[in-house]
A and B are shown apart, each in its own frame.
Chain A
Amino acid sequence: MKRIISVLALLLIVTVSCKKDFLNGTKPEDKISDADVWKSPALANQVINGCYDNLPAGHAWFMMMSATDEGMFQYNDLGTPYTMAAVTPQTLGSFASSVWAWGEEDWNWNWVYSNIRNVTIALQNLPNVPFATPDDKNKALADAHFIRGFSYFLLMAQYGGVVLYKDPVEFGTSYKVPRSTFEETVNFIVADFDAAISLYKDADIATVKTRGDKGIAMAMKAKTLLYAASDLHNSAKNSAIAGSHPELIGYTSGDATARWQAASDAFKAVIDLGKYSLHTGNPDLQRNFEEVFLSRSDEDMFIRYGDQKVDYYYALNRTPLWQNSPGYGGSGANAVLGDLVDAFEMNDGTPFSWSNPAEAANPYANRDPRLSASVLYEGANWYPRAATNGQMRMGTWPDGTTGPDAQFTNYWLRKYIDVNAGKVPDYTDLTACPPWVRMRYAEVLLDYAEANIELGNDAEAQKYINMVRARVGMPPVTETGDALRQRYRNERRVELAFEEQRFFDVRRWMIGPASAISGNGVKISYSVQGSFANPTFQKVMVDAGRKWDNKEYFLPIAVDEMNKNTDLIQNPGY
């Protein structure tokens, strides 16, 4: 009896005496506290890696092409706010913060700012992380500056001047912060890229293309300056759309020529690095151009691989293969518009025209080889299939039935898809996906040419445009002045098709109305029932009602955000 009581008393004493440790002895086991993260160089780098992973990757279900005159989306109307001038602060379509088809979610204000917060916290903490060598620390800091500059560039391209955060926002403080001017925003981005350029080591340039280095930081700085110099942000050119706060969307002072010159100089510095070159080597010029996106070369500057060990939806959203290849189950979500197809020149450098009877009768013959490499059209060679002899068949027979690939515009995306890889794997079997090319050297050459056209250095511009054309066997351009500008713009349109450039180019160049007048596809007719022979072609309107409103030159800030941060000023027209 006494023993029992003494045991009980002992237990009481024991429990009471260890009570302090009892409640303090637990910690989260599937998460890491910030204090632990910033003690470890490895974990700090994991945060940086996460920020890289969050930068946009265009292989979405809804591709940005379908919000432009390059394409149209077939499953829903995420693109129509942009093609039908219906975008509002409530209706952001494919650029909204939560998009069922992924879309441009990774360009969205909320998404980008969330990444900015992570990288800004990193910038605050990295100086105290015990890296093994100063080089390691500098590299991490350079990465952080590069990612922040890149992220603000994404916002600048969409909104103009935005809210700039040098330091992470403390939870529970006042959240009302006005937008910075466009000029301040550009300077902030350039400063971040400059910081990255000074911290990255020369020796590392172009060794790892999946993250920042001195070369890509210089190129992104140059691209920022190119965007900044563009007409859209020039108060001498944008007054019709600027509204009451022109400083938010462009320069209100300064010398536009100096800005073009700065962009030109910055691109020249990238070219002069001598680390990048156009991909060449395959005598089959069409295949050579396909390889730019399928195999890695010195043309790559900044690429982004999808994750191989991914969950279902991620794979679904990150593959161009499953979504866009007809004939083996691909559903062609992003159809290519005939207007883009028509922009590819004849292989002698003359424009294609439906009013030329010979060209209209055989519209895909003798064209720029990039057309075959970028778009699937009637009769194009595709995966071996007995039913169509391995060719795309989209025509209509006299009884109204159609070939197996007929749908929508009758043009399908081909860029990014390797016909030699065999049948398109099911999305759940997907183990590899070509990377998304965020920037490649051809763009640098064209960007440099653009700056020089605007500076009046036509010869310099021709030289670099023709480097890009020569790679695909297209004859050189010889025009000057505005004619050269128009040739350049078409060249950029076909070379960089689907690469998330066009959406911003039509804005920078302020050619919105011209870009929104059409929505064409092609109608193909077979004369003999059951036979694919001798198809005839007719240009047809498939996406009627496209129009432009000048407010679209900038995206609207979402209504929720306007309500939460009442110091914000909305973009003009909304």
Chain B
Amino acid sequence: MSRIYFVKLFEHGVKGISCLFLILIIFSANAFAQVRTIVGTVRAESGETLPGVSIKVKDSPAGTVTNADGKYSIQVPGVNSVLVFSFIGYGTKEVPVTGSNTINVSLQSATAQLNDVVVVGYGTQKKETLTGSVASVKGSEVLKSPAINVSNSLAGRIPGVAVIGQGGEPGNDFSTILVRGLNTFQNSTPLFVVDGVPQQNSDKLQHIDPSVIESISVLKDASAAIYGSQGANGVILITTKRGKAGAMAVSADFNQGFSQPTALPKMLNSYQIAALQNEAIDNNYATGTLTLHPGKYSVYELAGYAGNNDPWNYPNTDWIHEMIKPWASQNYANVNLSGGSEKIRSLVSFSDRNQDGFFRQGSGKYNQYDLRANLDMNPSKYVSMSVDLNTRLDNTNFPVDDSGTIFEQTILAPPSRVAYWPNGLIGQPTDPTGQSGSPVAIGTPLAGYNRGNNYVLNGTGKITVKIPGVDGLSVTGTGTLDRVFYSGKYWSIPVTYNEWNVASGTTNPTFTQDVQGDTQRTLTVTQNQQSNYLVNFLANYEKKFGDHNFKFLLGYEQFERGSSTLAITRRGFDADNLDQLVFGSSANEVINQDNPGLSRWQNYLGRVNYDFKSKLLLEFLFRYQGSSIFSNANRWGFFPGGSIGYRLSEEKFWKDNLPAINNFKIRASWGRTGNDLVPPFQYLSLYQPGITSYVQQVGPTGALTEYPTLHESVAAYQNATWETAEQTDIGFDADLFNSKISLTFDYFHNLRKDILTPLSGGLPASTGIIPPDENIGRFQNQGFDFNLAYKNNDHEVKWGVSVNGLLAKNKYLYSDEVVGIPTYQQQTGHPIGAGLYYDAIGIFRTAADLAKYPATVNGQTPQLGDLIFKDVNGDGKVDQLDQIRSYKSSVPTFSGGVNFNVKYKAFDMSVLFQGALGGVMYLRPNFSLNTNYLESFYTERWTPTNINAAFPRFSSGASTYWTDPNGIYNTFFLHNTDYIRLKNVEIGYTLPASLTSKLKIQHVRVYVNGMNLITYCPGLKGWYTDPEEAIRSQFYGESYPLQRIINFGLNVNF
């Protein structure tokens, strides 16, 4: 019912929005009689004069701007006029015109202003009376990073938030964002809320236009309890910019950046590989099946490769050079219009960003357009309304194969295979026997494309009514509609490679054509749509009784989320340009549908704040939430949270004795929240279609008919409900020396219970039951986060430095252990993601070593140069029982950042160092003579003449116990990823106002910034890998590298 209402409201909103902008212009066109002339100077709080400040007479179109010296002159109609001063980057200030004809004004910078108010769930709070643990960052900070994807801009900037890079592929280059680390062994994704609207999981933060972010707030503790069963992983609130009263201000940003991989490997050349192969054969080392060149290389062949001047017969292809270009371009532009009157204000922002991939001639590209418009209206003194309309279009353009796979293929391609023949023809598949083709084909449009268009449409209408006669009471109603349409097209074209007929010679060479892999063109068209509907009503009431201040919030909210996907695949297309379904054969059509059904939430929420003289602060908040994910009996839950703060610095004894500490507040909070990021409908016994059909034939010659099949997908677990979290936080805020130094510190302890996990450990397979998840898991995460900042604005050189950090240590308290495994292999007590490894304690360097350690490892006899595994249980042999559970995982335990900011006259600079400690990465080379080999592993390998080598001897393939990729995980390949990196630098120069004001331009700033510029990571020395890169399973090169970016930018305000 209500949903329909808001759909209509929204539809009207779309139609009406153009009218409203018209109204805005008409408002601005009114004229008034002039009576007095007011003059004055506008300065920043630091004292400098501000040129270009917009000055308007309230409720009238009259306006002017300050000149180069910050001086202005304006005519006002009468004594009751109010002047409105506004300037980009500063808070708007209203000054009533009184007797004096001179009005000098000091504007507070917007950043300072923002520090006073913090966005929290369903409202804002003053920072000084905040009792919860809430961190925030301003949009302007985010803009200092040149990353196209906002999720990559946050590392090191928000205390308590861990940002973990994944990969650098345009369109896929998002970072994982975790609030205080991992809080459950299931889904730890925090809740992202943009302007009050919870986002679809897939959307997260990554696609938001950085220019529209006003602020980002992170609810880290029980203050998230107001988000109930969605708050346990922390809540990240993004507030976007809104129009400001004043003359139409135009701000434009243009950026041109260049990116390159942060790390690229050094691989062997074809001579080194040939020599290595001969060595392996001479020493009787396992070589595996040699498909590239069976047997030893002859002296002639070795000489040919060593000569490196016969690309026909002895190729030496530098695949990395063939595939990866030195710099990829990216650019970003934003135009932002803001203005209006007190009664009606609007903001329109448009941006365009383009990002190119690393592959030469590659099809990896991303671009995105954002159009956001919002309108705020105050039709009467009791009513304010707003309409927001946000649209986004993003286009992904990927190669047909996964880019990580292509990168891996590039690295592993044997240098003796040919990328392009000297006459320009495309060369050979990298593997003569396989199906994998060559990266120079698969990474380019030659092999087709994988494109996606994503359309996002988001509309919000909001109305707030101050109830007349009841002072301090207001009611707000909000309706939001959020829709995402995705349309994807995957078009794969068989690639024809060329094998040179050696006998034909090089003057008139002939070639044999070879199609690798799929011999048919394949088209998959995917359509996906997602929708969110949200309606909420909030009542706010504020009341003051003497020194006792009360604030009440009561709300009702309902929310619906749905998604559906349809994908159709056809084959049998006759030409490369027939990439439409109708041209394919319906005979082999495959249709996939994914439609998990709607999820709905119904919430009652509330908050009470009490403060006594702004000294003793109390807060209680709750959410009573119902979720359609769970059964009728288990869907409602109550999530309370409470916090207390005491501002000791307001006490007389403190002021008398500790005047240097001008603010000191201790805080404590406790809350119970939930996590319902679990598959819905677990309370039902469900049947799902089988992936294959039953094929029936009637009679010996009957046609084959396919029949769909069904099977039980999972047994029902009636009592399924959300995970519950108990979050405790104790912290303090301190400001010293007139707030020059500020320190915030929080200790936290998060206990997660009722984690849904299958109890398969005790369920025999003979029951045939596919075990449902049960609320049995327990998990703990504890640690601290802090922020220490110093700023000095007293001198011409204004500077500041801040340090923030997060230590988060998690461990399993209870999970479903495999029955019968020894305690040192169990997960309990270990962090999530901690693997089982053989403890590699060295290399068998001498015969004495061989005698000293157990004679067999999983039945194999080690030889010199092999890795030594520890016999953990001391039974005289090394086997599966000698694997031990590690205490480390790929997620660092400590992460943090150091920020410097300097401003001198027209120059500004900011530097961000960011780092992490305590993480590990499992990474091993691919040992095969049919591929390529890491240079470091080659030059520093054990040989009978180099017994003190850093790396073990050469061994190829799965034949050696420590190279077998199937399960022989050992600590030799487990690398410490502790790192510190120069994450971000920005240097800017603002053109003198004397120059810009002549051009009728308020403000011009040019800047250059960079990301991931220098990295120090001793644990990965010789591995050429970025410590933040997420390796897919274990092999070197399996993921697309992260980006290093250098960017040049220009910002102009009219």
Q: Does A50 lie at the interface of the complex (its beta carbon under 8 Å from any beta carbon of B)?
A: yes
Complex CA–CA separation, A489 to B706 (angstroms): 38
- Which chain B residues lie closer than 8 Å to A54 at the CB level? 711
Partner of B763 from the list A207, A314, A564 (CB cut-off 8 Å) is A564
Q: State the Cβ distance, A348 to closest chain B Cβ, in Å.
A: 34
Complex CA–CA separation, A108 to B594 (angstroms): 30
Complex CA–CA separation, A177 to B766 (angstroms): 9
- Count, A-B residue pairs, CB within 8 A: 247
Contacts A211-B696, A431-B588 given; indicate if A565 touches B600 (C-beta within 8 A): no
A32:B690 contact, CB within 8 angstroms: no
Contacts A97-B765, A169-B768 given; indicate if A310 touches B681 (C-beta within 8 A): no
A16:B556 contact, CB within 8 angstroms: yes
A207:B699 contact, CB within 8 angstroms: yes
Q: Which residue of B lies closest to A164 (CB)?
A: B766
State which of B54-62, B544-552, B625-633, B935-943 sits at the interface with chain A: B625-633
Partner of B696 from the list A12, A16, A210, A561 (CB cut-off 8 Å) is A210
Partner of A118 from the list B463, B593, B712 (CB cut-off 8 Å) is B712
Contacts A296-B697, A429-B520 given; indicate if A23 touches B2 (C-beta within 8 A): no
Contacts A117-B712, A210-B697 given; indicate if A560 touches B819 (C-beta within 8 A): yes
Q: Which residue of B lies closest to A17 (CB)?
A: B1
Q: Does B32 lie at the interface of the complex (its beta carbon under 8 Å from any beta carbon of A)?
A: no
A426:B519 contact, CB within 8 angstroms: yes
Q: Does B772 lie at the interface of the complex (its beta carbon under 8 Å from any beta carbon of A)?
A: yes
Q: Is the interface of B mostly helix, strand, loop or mixed?
A: mixed
Please encode chain A, from 491 to 523, with 1 for each CB lying within 8 Å of some chain B CB and 0 for all others. 000000000000000000000000000000000
**B 607-627 contacts with A by CB, 8 A:** 626-627
A12:B686 contact, CB within 8 angstroms: no
**A 282-326 contacts with B by CB, 8 A:** 296-298, 300, 303, 305-311, 314
- Which chain B residues lie closer than 8 Å to A467 at the CB level? none
Contacts A24-B632, A428-B518 given; indicate if A12 touches B602 (C-beta within 8 A): no
Q: Which residue of A lies closest to B585 (CB)?
A: A431
Q: Does B767 lie at the interface of the complex (its beta carbon under 8 Å from any beta carbon of A)?
A: yes
Contacts A25-B600, A208-B696, A309-B588 given; indicate if A565 touches B766 (C-beta within 8 A): yes
**B 495-517 contacts with A by CB, 8 A:** 517
Contacts A50-B690, A314-B691 given; indicate if A28 touches B597 (C-beta within 8 A): yes
A26:B1 contact, CB within 8 angstroms: no
B766:A47 contact, CB within 8 angstroms: no
A33:B715 contact, CB within 8 angstroms: no
B695:A23 contact, CB within 8 angstroms: no
- Which chain A residues lie closer than 8 Å to B764 at the CB level? 163, 175, 177, 561, 564-565
Q: Does B657 lie at the interface of the complex (its beta carbon under 8 Å from any beta carbon of A)?
A: no
B766:A307 contact, CB within 8 angstroms: no
Q: State the Cβ distance, B567 to closest chain A Cβ, in Å.
A: 12
Q: Does B124 lie at the interface of the complex (its beta carbon under 8 Å from any beta carbon of A)?
A: no
**B 696-714 contacts with A by CB, 8 A:** 696-701, 704, 706-713
- Which chain A residues lie closer than 8 Å to B685 at the CB level? 33-34
**A 1-54 contacts with B by CB, 8 A:** 1, 4-5, 8, 11-12, 14-16, 18-19, 22-34, 37, 43, 45-47, 49-54
A23:B688 contact, CB within 8 angstroms: no
Q: Does B595 lie at the interface of the complex (its beta carbon under 8 Å from any beta carbon of A)?
A: yes
Q: Does B200 lie at the interface of the complex (its beta carbon under 8 Å from any beta carbon of A)?
A: no
Q: State the Cβ distance, A163 to closest chain B Cβ, in Å.
A: 5
**Interface residues in B, total, Cβ within 8 A:** 88
- Which chain A residues lie closer than 8 Å to B519 at the CB level? 426, 428-429
Partner of A308 from the list B684, B706, B708 (CB cut-off 8 Å) is B706
- Which chain B residues lie closer than 8 Å to A428 at the CB level? 517-520
Q: State the Cβ distance, A275 to closest chain B Cβ, in Å.
A: 12
Q: Does A381 lie at the interface of the complex (its beta carbon under 8 Å from any beta carbon of B)?
A: no
Complex CA–CA separation, A34 to B686 (angstroms): 6
Q: Does B694 lie at the interface of the complex (its beta carbon under 8 Å from any beta carbon of A)?
A: yes
A31:B686 contact, CB within 8 angstroms: yes
Please encode chain A, from 330 to 341, with 1 for each CB lying within 8 Å of some chain B CB and 0 for all others. 000000000000
Q: Does A109 lie at the interface of the complex (its beta carbon under 8 Å from any beta carbon of B)?
A: yes
Complex CA–CA separation, A4 to B686 (angstroms): 46
Q: Does A529 lie at the interface of the complex (its beta carbon under 8 Å from any beta carbon of B)?
A: no
- Which chain B residues lie closer than 8 Å to A207 at the CB level? 698-699
Q: Does B316 lie at the interface of the complex (its beta carbon under 8 Å from any beta carbon of A)?
A: no
Complex CA–CA separation, A560 to B769 (angstroms): 15
Q: Which residue of B lies closest to A18 (CB)?
A: B1
B694:A52 contact, CB within 8 angstroms: yes
Contacts A23-B628, A29-B597 given; indicate if A208 touches B687 (C-beta within 8 A): no
Q: Does B281 lie at the interface of the complex (its beta carbon under 8 Å from any beta carbon of A)?
A: no
Q: Does B217 lie at the interface of the complex (its beta carbon under 8 Å from any beta carbon of A)?
A: no
Complex CA–CA separation, A4 to B520 (angstroms): 63
Contacts A431-B588, A563-B820 given; indicate if A110 touches B765 (C-beta within 8 A): yes
**Interface residues in A, total, Cβ within 8 A:** 86
Partner of A53 from the list B475, B537, B692, B761 (CB cut-off 8 Å) is B692
- Which chain A residues lie closer than 8 Å to B704 at the CB level? 305, 308
Q: Does B762 lie at the interface of the complex (its beta carbon under 8 Å from any beta carbon of A)?
A: yes
Partner of B768 from the list A8, A30, A116, A309 (CB cut-off 8 Å) is A116
- Which chain B residues lie closer than 8 Å to A37 at the CB level? 687, 710
Q: Which residue of B lies closest to A19 (CB)?
A: B602
Complex CA–CA separation, A45 to B770 (angstroms): 21
Query: Which residue among A19, A28, A109, A311 has the maximum number of chain B CB atoms within 10 Å of its CB?
Result: A28
- Which chain B residues lie closer than 8 Å to A16 at the CB level? 556
Complex CA–CA separation, A207 to B700 (angstroms): 8
Please encode chain B, from 999 to 1040, with 1 for each CB lying within 8 Å of some chain A CB and 0 for all others. 000000000000000000000000000000000000000000
Partner of A28 from the list B596, B691, B715 (CB cut-off 8 Å) is B596
- Which chain B residues lie closer than 8 Å to A101 at the CB level? none
Q: State the Cβ distance, B198 to closest chain A Cβ, in Å.
A: 16
Q: Does B590 lie at the interface of the complex (its beta carbon under 8 Å from any beta carbon of A)?
A: yes
- Which chain A residues lie closer than 8 Å to B958 at the CB level? 76
Query: Which residue among A22, A33, A115, A305 has the maximum number of chain B CB atoms within 10 Å of its CB?
Result: A22
- Which chain A residues lie closer than 8 Å to B596 at the CB level? 28-30
- Which chain B residues lie closer than 8 Å to A310 at the CB level? 692
- Which chain A residues lie closer than 8 Å to B711 at the CB level? 47, 50-51, 54, 118
Q: Does B468 lie at the interface of the complex (its beta carbon under 8 Å from any beta carbon of A)?
A: yes
B635:A23 contact, CB within 8 angstroms: yes
Q: State the Cβ distance, B317 to closest chain A Cβ, in Å.
A: 25
Q: Which residue of B lies closest to A33 (CB)?
A: B684
A171:B716 contact, CB within 8 angstroms: yes
B768:A168 contact, CB within 8 angstroms: yes
Partner of A311 from the list B691, B762, B763 (CB cut-off 8 Å) is B691
Complex CA–CA separation, A124 to B587 (angstroms): 38
Complex CA–CA separation, A514 to B589 (angstroms): 50
Q: Does B599 lie at the interface of the complex (its beta carbon under 8 Å from any beta carbon of A)?
A: yes
Q: Which residue of B lies closest to A163 (CB)?
A: B766
- Which chain A residues lie closer than 8 Å to B632 at the CB level? 24
Partner of A561 from the list B594, B598, B684, B765 (CB cut-off 8 Å) is B765
Complex CA–CA separation, A19 to B3 (angstroms): 12
- Which chain B residues lie closer than 8 Å to A120 at the CB level? 768
19 contacts between A and B (CB under 8 A): A14-B2, A19-B558, A25-B598, A26-B598, A28-B680, A30-B596, A49-B707, A50-B709, A121-B712, A163-B764, A169-B767, A169-B768, A208-B698, A208-B699, A211-B696, A305-B696, A306-B695, A560-B765, A560-B818
| Known A113-B768, A561-B764; 4 more pairs at CB < 8 Å | A27-B681, A49-B709, A305-B695, A314-B691
What 5 A-B pairs are tightest by C-beta distance, nearest first?
Answer: A117-B768, A50-B709, A49-B694, A305-B695, A296-B700
Q: Which residues of A approach B to under 8 Å, CB–CB?
A: 1, 4-5, 8, 11-12, 14-16, 18-19, 22-34, 37, 43, 45-47, 49-54, 76, 90, 97, 109-110, 113-118, 120-121, 162-163, 165, 168-169, 171, 175, 177, 207-211, 296-298, 300, 303, 305-311, 314, 426, 428-429, 431, 435, 558-561, 563-565
Q: Which residues of B approach A to under 8 Å, CB–CB?
A: 1-2, 5, 380, 382-383, 463, 465, 467-468, 475, 477, 517-520, 535, 537, 556, 558, 564, 587-590, 593-600, 602, 626-628, 632, 635, 680-681, 684-701, 704, 706-713, 715-717, 761-772, 818-820, 880, 958
